[in-house]
Structure 1
């Protein structure tokens, strides 16, 4: 069994994932773009029982947006770490895939919220594109 390890930019917050879920997506919504400072944010998923914080939990900060979504980040370096939808039931953790230090075999499988994508970004792959979330 592969254990996937990740951390924030400054290394004060670390986590591990013992099993990845297959859904991984590029989110183009305006909030993810602003939070990540990039054209899109890429999230992976793990069941809550397969995700654990290893260090730095006391450094975690969170931002709850006007739409009820919650983003957790490092209070020291600002690295984006997790995302939770407004209807989160706690079964899954969505985490910023780029914070993993361990290589993974899975690849993102969709672009979501492309109706809000940056006009200067062209999507140049053949992944499915959803105007909003995966269910439209």
Structure 2
């Protein structure tokens, strides 16, 4: 499965075409995505490969460690490695259609925007669940 930013100058590929996504509704993710939630997959390093444009990636990091990588040309969020873990965070909106992708969890529902009237599919968590269990549910190492 391939993906790219809005201007298509940054591109990547994933080794599978079947991924489980989560949507995070916390205020950081809403601001980072500019939407009601951030939809993303977490994939194993071994399943991710940059195709082009890595020199165009800019990063911004909050003192808390929250990191946002984005295309310096079009501003699209782009994949970034999870700090100290063998995984890559991949924004779902960058993925080309055609794969088997499903949302399995909604995080930080207690922080959900009051104007968000969508009906979530999948498990709903008031906050961020236990990270190890969450990663296991996303199955980023499955091929």
Structure 1 equivalent of residue 119 of structure 2:
124
Task: Answer whether contact 1:24 1:42 (CA < 8 A) is retained.
Answer: yes
Task: Answer whether contact 2:24 2:106 (CA < 8 A) is retained.
Answer: yes
Q: Which moved more, 1:14-23 or 1:98-107?
A: 14-23
Map 1:6-25 onto structure 2 (within 5 A).
6-19=3-16, 22-25=19-22
Task: Answer whether contact 1:44 1:96 (CA < 8 A) is retained.
Answer: yes
Map 1:40-55 onto structure 2 (within 5 A).
40-55=37-52
Structure 2 equivalent of residue 69 of structure 1:
66
Gaps of 5+ in 2: 132-143
Structure 2 equivalent of residue 110 of structure 1:
105
Gaps of 5+ in 1: none
Cα distance change on mapping 1:48 and 1:80 into 2, 3 Å: same
Q: 1:98 aligns with which of 85, 88, 93?
A: 93
The answer to whether the aligner puts 1:78 opposite 2:75 as a matched pair is yes
Aligned-partner SS, 1:25: strand
1:78 shift after superposition: 0.5
Task: Answer whether contact 1:21 1:46 (CA < 8 A) is retained.
Answer: no
Cα distance change on mapping 1:53 and 1:84 into 2, 3 Å: closer
CA RMSD, 1 decimal? 1.9
Task: Give the aligned length.
Answer: 131
Distance 1:58 1:29 in 2: 29
1:84 shift after superposition: 5.2
Q: TM-score, with normalisation over the residues of structure 2? A: 0.83
Task: Answer whether contact 1:23 1:108 (CA < 8 A) is retained.
Answer: yes
Distance 1:103 1:27 in 2: 23
Higher helix share: 2
Distance 2:17 2:39 in 1: 14
